Structure 1
Amino acid sequence: MKKLYQQVYLVFFSFLFSLQCISFINQPGDQTWFRNIANKYDYQYFEFAIDRYFNWSSRLLIESATMFFSTHYIIFDIILFLFTYFLFYVLSDIVTKEEKDSNSLPYIIPILFLFLFPTNFFLGAGLIATITNYYFPMVLFVLSFWFMQNNKLYSFIISIFLLIISTMQEQFAVLSSLLYVFLIFQSYKLYAKLNKVYLASVIVSINALVIMFLSPGSKIRTLIETKRWYPGFNKMSLFKKISLGFFDTNQSLFLGDQINAVFLLLVILVILAVYKKDLFILISNLLLLLVLVLEKAGMKTLFFSTKRVVSELDTYKITPNLIYIWLIYLTILVFLAISIYRLIDNKVLSVKLIVLVISGYIARMTVSFSPTIYSSGIRTHLPILFGIFIVILYLIRELNHVYVNPKILES
């Protein structure tokens, strides 16, 4: 009966999230353009994808799907519900596998997801376009990884197929490439043999990046959007572009009003540090949490000068102010990585989680090379938030494990 209740629970929250999203489906967005242009292409979705590859975007089937869903709202609603249910179910299975003390996690996952990914997160370019171009690729990536854990041939085929579609979204192509390269080396170190499934995943992911770089449409789009959004973008040095992405990413994560993931991560790290009596991790994360709260309250903290420097980045060369911000954020990121490593007992898992977050962070940093860095909105943070979401789940699992088995603390 517990499994039945659990499935009903997951279905309910999947329906709740889908219904919440669908209530914004008629809000103005890119789907209006896709719906209007569909008639011009006589609803030839694959022909449209090929044309877009040469004239605007390298996302191929994602472009086809965006046009299709823009003309079939009911099908979109159903797919959104199913994908959300599959996401909750698969994550529950992955995180609780081989953990008898994690029965509560399947009930936490949907609530945590709704907290970290409110509906407004997926409205930047209109609901259908944002969900199809960001949320669906994320779900496909998770499903691909889940199928990959099964050694059967049909699971491998399904996994690769899902990964091919997921990596048509360039940020998940970057995330996937970095993560699976690491997993190949980790697997080889642990088992002294090459994991062919991971190797195939790397090939698929890198191939997606090659297709993206070779896309004539991507180059045309960059030229057009540079004139529209950031006329001086091409004149910026590589360091400035990377700094722009680095500062913008961290501003959104630590100081922005739309992302709650870092606050929740810090709270859980503090609680787990208390249980595990790790004074260093407790004090460092508690201080950071306090600084962020004070900053939100309008007080001047060590983050105060970062806002001024970021807003004036275009006029700066390599100065002490820029170096200061780099050091501040890098120090914080390193401390967070150390915290995750120390608080999760399974060090193989902890390193894997850290690499996942780093991969998501770098995937978000790819906007450094796009003139739409300030216009693309919060949706481009999805890869890094996905990584933080997974880390939080495993930290909660660790906390639950310590709470249920207090003798662990005595060992």
Structure 2
Amino acid sequence: MINQKDFIKKSGSYLLLVTIVVLVYLFHLNFDIFEISDDAWFKNAGEYFHLFDFLKWRYFHWSARLFPDAVAYLIFKLPIVYWRVFNTALIVLLGYSISRIFNSKWKPFASVSALLILGYISYDVLYSGYFWITGSFNYLLPMALGMYVMIPYADSYFRETEHHFSIKTILLFIAVFLFSFSNEQVLACALGAALCYHIAIFIQKKKVNPILLISTGLMLIGFIIMYVSPGNKLRFVFEEARYFPGFSSLSLLGRTKIGMFWMYQMISQNMIVSVVLITILTLIITKPSWYKKILIILSTLMISLHHVRSDYMMDFESRSKVPVRLFMDTKLFSLEFIYYVLPFVLWTLFFGILILCILKSVDHPIFIGLCFLAALTSCILMFFSPTIVASGPRVLNCFGLILSLVSVYLFHQIVEKYQNESYSTFVLGIFPVVAFLMYYLRLKNQ
């Protein structure tokens, strides 16, 4: 029988979750159809196409994101309130799925902490992937569905749960099938995680789960169908002519150079708060060691340089315009050159030591290492797109989600260690609550 203290705590966690969900929905009231964007195009698509003809045209002329396109086609036919409810449900599903990755059973407090940690992602990234209507179909929808279909893999790997065919299995296959035609970035990361799961099971000589094998097969088939879409080539030609003329003529080294500087620019400008959160959580769980001392020193140095010359630490765009041949110059280690590349070196060292501290401190270092590899892969995929300099922060949504996943994992380890879930969640929620209150007031005053 549950005692009074546990009942109050459980009731409070449900009340807190419901409050956050209501606030998330109310925040949606600030957003409507953005007429000078893809919103207007999707809104008018129903006047010229039937659904099947629309999806066929998109596949052969633009992209194979058939599921987001279908949802956008249908939702734009309805009043805006339906999108607000649907989008709120997707955010709740994302929070639920993230929390279930690390728990055998759903816990409302775990979902609350997951939703709060998502609030540490830059507003520019969140807006483009969560609150811009078209962006929510192309990013939030695939991410929520992708995290959901990863739950059985986590149950099997972390908790050795056996899955048997049932009605839930059919629902899982439907979710996997729809997810397999959603977003290339998210699908590539999920498929990579699924393949790593099967490799780990094979190495450990454990029993192969046919349900997860079928799920992985569906994702692989979907990925191939998306990759060979005729629309991809047509879109590439159009986007190259519009956003980056001559992109296809760049060498692999040239694309990599532009991509690396772009990645550091985008992360330093748009993901800094998420990185700070991970750093703080890492310092809390990391035992005294030489690598923890180096992380503290590097963090202090980075904060100091950012405070004194934020433009120096974050302006990678101008550095990307330097020809590759200059990096082979005999004056490679001149003072001017060192001053030029120092921010790149410092950020690289910082991320390297941060990841080392995390891997040395967590219970599942291989899983965390794969998370960081997936985050890196989501950015590297942009190295081969002519929209690399025009896409804006929306392409960081997958990266931000993976950082949030790592943060949730670290936060759960802190809660387990110190047994202070309520207080830790309260402290965790201060920044996102204040930040979104400021965003709300800014939107109201526009």
TM value normalised by structure 2: 0.79
Q: 1:20 aligned to 2:19?
A: no
Matched, 1:108 2:135: no
SS of aligned partner of 2:389: coil
**Residue equivalent to 1:383:** 398
Of the three residues 71, 86, 89, the one matched with 1:79 is 86
Give the deviation of 1:40 after TM superposition. 1.0
Preserved contact between residue 67 and residue 179 of structure 2 (Cα < 8 Å):
no
Name the CA distance, whole Å, in 1 between partners of 2:327 and 2:31: 45
1:408 match: none
Q: Secondary structure at the match of 1:122?
A: helix
**Percent sequence identity over aligned pairs:** 19
| Alignment match, 1:355 | 370
Matched AA of 1:376:
S
Q: How many Å separate the matches in 2 of 1:194 and 1:110?
A: 33
Contact 2:240 2:386 in 1 (8 A): yes
Gaps of 5+ in 2: 1-6, 156-161, 329-336, 421-446
**Separation (CA, whole Å) in 2 of partners of 1:398 and 1:125:** 28
1:17-166 matches, cutoff 5 A: 17-28=24-35, 29-41=37-49, 44-72=50-78, 73-97=80-104, 105-116=110-121, 118=123, 121-123=126-128, 127-147=132-152, 149=155, 151-153=163-165, 154-166=167-179
The answer to which of 12-21 and 164-173 deviates more is 12-21
- Deviation of 1:301 (Å): 10
Change (3 A) 1:122 1:201: farther
Q: Greater CA deviation, 219-228 or 179-188?
A: 179-188
Paired residues of 1:55 and 1:221 also in contact (CA < 8 A): yes
Match of 2:334 in 1: none
Q: Verify the 8 A CA contact 2:129 2:138 in the aligned structure 1.
A: no
Q: Which residue of 2 aligns with 1:203?
A: 217
Aligned residues: 392
Q: Which residue of 2 aligns with 1:218?
A: 232
CA distance in structure 1 between the partners assigned to 2:152 and 2:213 by the alignment: 15
Q: Is the 8 A contact 1:341 1:350 kept in 2?
A: yes
* 1:134-153 deviations in Å (ceiling 9; x for gaps): 01110001111225547132
Deviation, structure 1 residue 385: 1.4
Counterparts of 1:383-402 in structure 2, within 5 Å, are: 383-402=398-417
Q: Where in structure 2 are the equivalents of 1:319-358 lying within 5 Å? A: 319-320=327-328, 330-344=348-362, 346=363, 349-358=364-373
Q: Deviations over 1:80-123 (max 9, x none)?
A: 12222222233333334389xx9854442222222326476233
Contact 2:95–2:112 (8 Å) recurs in 1: no
Q: CA RMSD in A?
A: 3.0
Tell me, yes or no, if the aligned pair for 1:11 and 1:85 is still in contact at 8 Å: no
Residues 95 and 394 of structure 1 are in contact (CA less than 8 Å); yes or no, is this contact kept in structure 2?
yes
Per the TM alignment, residue 303 of structure 1 is displaced from its structure 2 partner at its CA by 4.5
Separation in 2 of the partners of 1:103 and 1:60?
A: 33
Q: Larger relative contact order (C-alpha < 8 A, sep ≥ 6)? A: 2
Question: Which blocks of at least 5 consecutive residues in structure 1 are unaligned?
Answer: 406-411
Per the alignment, residue 289 of structure 2 pairs with 279
Cα deviations by residue, 1:60-86 (Å, 9 ceiling, x for unpaired): 121111222222222212211222222
CA distance in 1, matches of 2:52, 2:368: 37
CA contact (8 A) 1:57 1:218 kept: yes
- In structure 2, what is the Cα distance between the partners aligned to 1:236 and 1:386? 30
Using the alignment, how far apart are the partners of 2:151 and 2:57 within structure 1?
33
Deviates more, 1:217-226 or 1:179-188: 179-188
